[in-house]
Structure formats: structure tokens, C-alpha cells
Amino acid sequence: PPGAPSHPGGYRELSGREVEVLRLVAEGQSNKAIGVSMGLSALTVKSHLARIARKLGTGDRAGMVAVALRTGIIH
């Protein structure tokens, strides 16, 4: 279906940095705040979020966090 991961279990492909970005998103941090805490530009954070969204099959922050919690990517 449209918006679905390219293959089941796509969340397993998240890099350590993507998981960290996702954890900070779950804490409610902005792209700018995430960038500051990780030493990245806000644009780089946005790029990480785009890859995370593609891998998890969801397009918004709330959806990413929901999938991450449901699948145990973050706790």
C-alpha cells in the first residue's frame, strides 16, 4: 500500500543515529533542538526524519513515534 515500508520489518534498517533522532522526537524536541544536542544542522535532522519516515511507512512525527513505540525501537 502507498506509504508502507518498502518491505516488512523496514524498521530494522534504522541506523543508530536515526534511532537517536527518533528518541528525541518522541521527547518532543524540535529539529533545531535535536540538531544542537546531536551536533547536526536542522537540515540534516530533517533528512534523517525523511529516511525514518520512508523506512517506517509513515509521514508525520506522531506516526513515527507510534510505530517506534509499538515495534520496540524506542521505549
**pLDDT reading at 61 higher than 70:** yes
pLDDT at 9: 54
Going from the C-alpha of 29 to that of each of 1, 12, 13, 41, 45, the distances in angstroms are 30, 23, 23, 14, 11
pLDDT at 18: 97
Task: Dig out the grid coordinates for 73 from the structure.
Answer: 525501537
Options 3.40.50.880, 1.20.1260.10, 1.10.10.10, 1.20.1290.10; CATH for 14-71 is: 1.10.10.10
Percent above pLDDT 70 for the chain: 84
pLDDT at 59: 86
pLDDT at 11: 66
pLDDT at 23: 98
